Chain A
Amino acid sequence: MTLTEGPEALLWRENLVEAGFSDDGAHLRGPVTWEHPQGGLITARVEMEAENFPFAPPQVRILDPGVPLDFTFHVDRPAPRHTLGNLCLWEDSWSADVAPWLEAQTVLDRVAHWLRRTALGWPGDRACDLERYLPREDTLVLYDSAVPLTGLARAKKDGNGAVSVVARSSGPPPGAHQPKDRRRPKRAGKPPEDIGWVWVCDVGAVDAPVRSWSDVLALLGADADKVEHEVELTRTRWMLIHYSRGGVPGVLALHLSYTSAAGVEVRSCEAADTSVETRMLRAGASAGDLADVRVAIVGCGAIGSFVADMLFRSGLRHLDLRDHETLRPGNVVRHVAGLDEVGRPKVEAVRRALCRIDPNTSTVSVHASGVWTLDQAVALLQRHDLVVDATGSARATSLLSSAAELTDQVVVSACVQRDGDVVRVDRMPLRSSETYLPPLTRDDDDNQPRERGCGSPVSLTPPGAVLAAAELACRVIIDEVSGSRSLPGSLADVRQPQPEAPFDRLGLVSTRTTPGSGPE
């Protein structure tokens, strides 16, 4: 199906034609008036394409700026077989109905602004995107900002094709930048390959893009001759340049290849920081508060494994995992661990899953046993800030509930009910004047399937309900351990309405929303 352009795109083009642009149906070409800082009003000539309008901004290229002008930042490299690069007018993603480029005049104003900023040298610009001005190479270069390096370092390529920059004396990566953890699982595949030297340097503030090898050498200052010699000997084939723009730090990773005929060819690579600080940037606002909190999870099956995973991702590092069962193939579709962990104790399978998020699991302890006695439950509560009951076992829950009453320490109990129609989390003990939601009785179903060779019937709860329960539990846990304590003693997410009130309506139910429940 071939779609014609929408009305907004056709009108946009007509408006540009009225503004003096020619239109051959693919390219629009015409004048843009802009104010030069010294030269006053100047008329430039530009070329536009609007292939994905209005979902993407028009691609704009400067045919003639009207006055001599060096293009520096915010312009892409020309596409293959083209001489002009597209201006970077809008970096952000916009919804098509409110995008600023919907108005032709706004585009012309934006181009005029771009020209003026270029003439001014982009004062105060903070875009750290030097890689866009060089030919690209699809290699991810990893470095650890917590381990500052300068001068020569080693480059090691892992099985995924990523290149790690490690200290000269470093042992084989990966993990050279990670705290040592002997229990970290071995990685599959070949060990990282040593692929030569990396020149690492910090050039400070840059005021022009890097477009060529000579630009790179200009940045290196007094080290230029030395580095060029290294590169021409083909010993140093990578470079990591720390720089800043408008006070914001950036990193440019380069791959260098030398031939006597062509000289040094330089390509930019995507660079990524492996430091814990960077890896935890996306862990949420409360990640810092959770780092020293101690939580035990009793039951590392479906819900418990995902609770452990989410808490670990959220920044909680002191975890005590308890479960006496072994991971079976049939568990995997509702478990954080994969088929490759089948046969291991569930707690170990979970810990190994956590290693894939952060290899440092030195503060995660595992115990292939359950909580069978009140003494054990009390001891567990006394050693932790909070205990999660993800057992799905009335016996274990009653033990932990009693221990919570005895110690006044918090237990958060999570479960799925009615085959996933309701997920529920209760916090114990209740605080003053709190009440619990009423219990839901079990629907006995004689037709529940049983796994061959395994006595217990298999719950038909879908994986989504497991994740929903784990997520609800994590909300309550983080609310509690972060000191917020704003959530009620019971929370239920009704995914399919049940006959019994208050579970007879869709959505989140708590004692606060339940008619007739007392104020908390």
Chain B
Amino acid sequence: MTTLATLFRSALSNIEPGDDAKHAAEAHKQVSDAVTSDDRLRDLGADPVLIGSYKRDVSIRRVKDVDVFVRLTGADDSLLPGDILTHTIEVLEDAFPGRVTRQHRSAMVDFPEFDLSVDVVIARPCVNHPDDHWQIPQKIEEDGRATWVETNPTRMTELKTQANQQFLLSDDDPTSGAYVPVVKLVRQIRRACDIDKPGGFYFEVLTYHAFQDEEPTENTIADYLTAVLRSVADALATRAKPADPTLDGRTISTSATTAQLEEAASRMAEAATLAEEALKAEDTCVSAAKWRQLLGTTKHTDDPEHVFPLPDFCNTDGTRKSSSTITRGAPAVPAGNDRYA
């Protein structure tokens, strides 16, 4: 068993959003300020909140887009989604001239200086469960009408927090949650496997279910990741839609085609096998090379960078460098221990 905890720590550091986090916060603030300064939206109780992987602390470098959920707390079922979206786009266009794009149920604001965009989604309290969750337009028709679908993005944040408190590396440390790091690593592996669809949230939900189903109790991130990856791969292989953890009886939908789902299942099965081999390897360099292969390189960065660091004493093919270049400090003291200076 080779778990290489310090190198996993570095790998996780390498996929942290870094500056993207600051930029996302600043972009969110600018969008929120624009939305809440409009009289009509303010009268509708506009209350913007960040959602998505960034909000849940499971985003990875690089963050290309963040989602803002404009909760219209005063809206009722008479609200026409197309009308209010059009108005919201006008408000945003005034604030961000030439940088706003209408999408089929949201508005996208571009922040070229941050190299990211903000998706603004309007939401109303759920007609049937106004205290529990929200509804967003599914697809807006030309007449401005739309069907509304239920969603509860903030619930996923709560579930993330619970899972991270439940699955710990050490019971001695309540902050040693393994769930969030493993979600990030699974997201990175998805990118490393070049899986476009299903998207990152789909894999996050699969990971959530893997934790709930397997209830792993491990001492290292390597152990947790290996156990979860196999469960995720198996779930993909069934091609069953995963249950939506935030809404009873609902499932997570994906626009992935059957072929894309099959391809994703195949890639993740390979990834799970690679993780098992890396964990099982007796030799540090062999193991490190496999973990490095599994986690691939950063995406959307200026230059792709390996996520998993290779130990200085290892070659990229998993062999060891000659000992003379690796034994720092040994033999460290030619004169022996009886020394004074």
Contacts and interface: CB of A to CB of B under 8 A. Distances in A.
B and A form one assembly:
yes
A418 B337 CA distance: 37
B328 A17 contact: no
Contacts of A11: 284
Interface centre among A4, A26, A27, A55 (most CB of B within 10 A): A4
B326 A7 contact: yes
B284 A23 contact: no
A49 to B, nearest CB: 11
A94 B5 contact: no
Interface string B205-238: 0000000000000011100000000000000000
B220 A17 contact: yes
Given A17-B219, A23-B169, A23-B219, A10 B284 contact: yes
A4 B7 contact: yes
B329 A55 contact: yes
B9 interface: yes
A97 B330 contact: yes
B290 to A, nearest CB: 15
A5 B332 contact: no
A23 B337 CA distance: 32
Given A27-B173, A95-B333, A21 B313 contact: no
B8 interface: yes
A505 interface: no
B6 interface: yes
Interface in B247-271: none
Interface in B130-174: 169-170, 172-173
A138 interface: no
Contact of B9 (A9, A25, A54): A25
A439 to B, nearest CB: 36
B3 interface: yes
A20 B337 CA distance: 34
Contacts of B169: 22-24, 29
B172 A45 contact: yes
Interface stretch (B30-38, B47-55, B304-312): B304-312
A18 B1 contact: yes
A361 B12 CA distance: 66
Contact of B6 (A25, A45, A98): A25
A94 B330 CA distance: 12
A11 B337 CA distance: 25
* A interface bracket (residues with beta carbon within 8 Å of B): 20 to 34
Contact of B176 (A14, A22, A95): A22
B2 interface: yes
A54 B221 CA distance: 23
Contacts of A96: 328-330, 332
A157 interface: no
Size range of the chain B interface in the assembly: 35 or more
B332 A97 contact: yes
Contacts of B313: 6-7
Interface string B323-339: 00011111111001100
Contacts of B310: 4
B330 A63 contact: no
A22 B284 contact: no
A30 B331 CA distance: 31
A24 B326 contact: no
A320 interface: no
A27 to B, nearest CB: 7
Nearest to A27: B173
A351 interface: no
B10 interface: yes
Nearest to B327: A6
B139 to A, nearest CB: 45
Interface in B1-37: 1-10, 12
Nearest to B331: A97
B9 A26 contact: yes
A10 B285 CA distance: 11
Interface in A18-52: 18, 20-27, 29-30, 45, 47
B173 A54 contact: no
Contacts of B333: 95, 97
Nearest to B328: A6
Contacts of B7: 4, 10, 25
B8 A22 contact: no
B9 A24 contact: yes
Contacts of B1: 14, 17-18
B312 A29 contact: no
A98 B333 CA distance: 10
Given A17-B1, A17-B3, A29-B173, A7 B220 contact: no
A10 B219 CA distance: 15
A97 B332 CA distance: 6
Nearest to B218: A22
B319 to A, nearest CB: 13
Contacts of A7: 284, 311, 313, 320, 326
B5 A25 contact: yes
B330 A5 contact: no
Contacts of A27: 170, 173, 176
20 contacts: A4-B10, A6-B312, A7-B320, A10-B311, A24-B9, A24-B170, A24-B220, A25-B5, A25-B7, A25-B9, A26-B9, A29-B172, A29-B176, A30-B170, A95-B329, A96-B330, A96-B332, A97-B327, A97-B331, A98-B337
Interface of B: 1-10, 12, 169-170, 172-173, 176, 219-221, 284, 309-313, 320, 326-333, 336-337
Given A10-B7, A17-B5, A29-B172, 5 more contacts: A4-B10, A6-B313, A6-B328, A25-B5, A27-B170
Smallest CB-CB A-B distances: 7 pairs: A25-B9, A96-B329, A23-B5, A97-B330, A22-B170, A22-B219, A29-B170
